[in-house]
Structure 1
């Protein structure tokens, strides 16, 4: 579990706590109002749920996903948008089967608090996977890798940051390019547009493409902003 300082898209809290604070200030000036108080309370609860998903819930989703992945021996893994390494570090119980994990990121503090290659390297160095992991500064829209290089590709809460949507399609095309034939793909992402990835992946030749709602642990404030898990094989 990460600290609040390192949570995903911390600016998102402003959408909940900001209006709640304004409502409270207005009530202090104008007097108590039941409806306003209920709205302010709801916004605070939504903000707390956002925090829960970012610092607890997403880890539970990753743990569940990784527990269902059976790695082949000498597996080479790519983590697209690795951030602080949360997803890749879930493979610590399968170290013997891993030849290498490469984590790439553009290290944006807007998308994740305290995000830097130096901070992530310190986390990796303290883990049991330290000898297996290499970090790179790279953009998935122009991945610096050979065709068919990775057996397993993972990505968590990254693709929705690419706008417009056409860039997400380009990212999936790059993922497909560097994905080994018969390799596995796992994408965790936010929002209902994630469903569009299914048809794109199928057009790229992926099979057994499956999408599931991650449920309560993936609610970013409210059920209206859910997290989905997509799995597929090349």
Structure 2
């Protein structure tokens, strides 16, 4: 679990708590109004759900994913857009099967609070993965790796930040390029547009492409902004 200052896209809270605060101020000035009070309460509840997903819910999703992932011996893993290393840390019980985990990020504080390579390195150094993690500053659209390099590629809550959608297709192509044959891909991402990744991945040569709604733990404020998990094999 992360602290609030390390939330994903902390500015998102402003969309819920900002209007709720304005409504409360209006109620204090003009007097109680049932409909306005209900609206304020709903916005506050949505904001709290956003916080839950960011600091609790997404970790539960990652834990389930990793528990269901079968690693080959001496697996080399890429975390594309690693942030604070939340996804990488879920592999701490499978270190015996891992030769190296490479985490890349552009270290944007807009996308994740308190995000820096130094902060993530400290987290990794204090984990059971210390010595197996290598962090790099790199963009998913232009990764400094050889073709067919990684057995497993994971990416969490990253691709939706890439706009327009054509750029996301380029990012998926980059992932496919550095993925080993018979390798595995896992993508967590936000929003219903995630379903469009499926035909793109199939065109890139992935097989057994599946997509699933992560449910309550992946709601970013409301069920209208869900998290989806895509798995595929090369």
> Is this a same-fold pair by TM over 0.5?
yes
CA root-mean-square deviation: 0.3
Taking the aligned partners of 2:88 and 2:171, their CA distance within structure 1 comes to: 19
The Cα of 1:67 is off from its aligned counterpart by 0.4
Taking the aligned partners of 2:29 and 2:94, their CA distance within structure 1 comes to: 58
The Cα of 1:215 is off from its aligned counterpart by 0.1
TM-score (norm 2): 1.00
Q: 1:202 is matched with which residue? A: 202
Taking the aligned partners of 1:149 and 1:172, their CA distance within structure 2 comes to: 15
Q: Secondary structure at the match of 2:212?
A: strand
Q: 2:48 is matched with which residue? A: 48
The Cα of 1:10 is off from its aligned counterpart by 0.2
Contiguous gaps of at least 5 residues in structure 2: none
- Find out whether 1:146 has 2:149 as its counterpart: no
The Cα of 1:48 is off from its aligned counterpart by 0.1
Structural mapping, 1:40-119, within 5 Å: 40-119=40-119
After superposition, what is the alpha-carbon deviation per residue over 1:28-77, rounded to whole angstroms, capped at 9, x for unaligned?
11111000000000000000000000000000000000000000001000
Taking the aligned partners of 1:110 and 1:163, their CA distance within structure 2 comes to: 15
Q: Secondary structure at the match of 1:232?
A: strand
Q: 2:185 is matched with which residue? A: 185
Q: 2:34 is matched with which residue? A: 34
Runs of 4+ in 1 over 3 A off after TM superposition: none
Taking the aligned partners of 1:75 and 1:104, their CA distance within structure 2 comes to: 17
Taking the aligned partners of 1:182 and 1:19, their CA distance within structure 2 comes to: 49
Taking the aligned partners of 1:89 and 1:101, their CA distance within structure 2 comes to: 10
The Cα of 1:111 is off from its aligned counterpart by 0.2
Q: 2:137 is matched with which residue? A: 137
TM-score (norm 1): 1.00
Taking the aligned partners of 1:131 and 1:97, their CA distance within structure 2 comes to: 14
Contiguous gaps of at least 5 residues in structure 1: none
Say how many residue pairs are matched.
234
After superposition, what is the alpha-carbon deviation per residue over 1:140-199, rounded to whole angstroms, capped at 9, x for unaligned?
100000000000000000000001111110000000000000000000000000000000
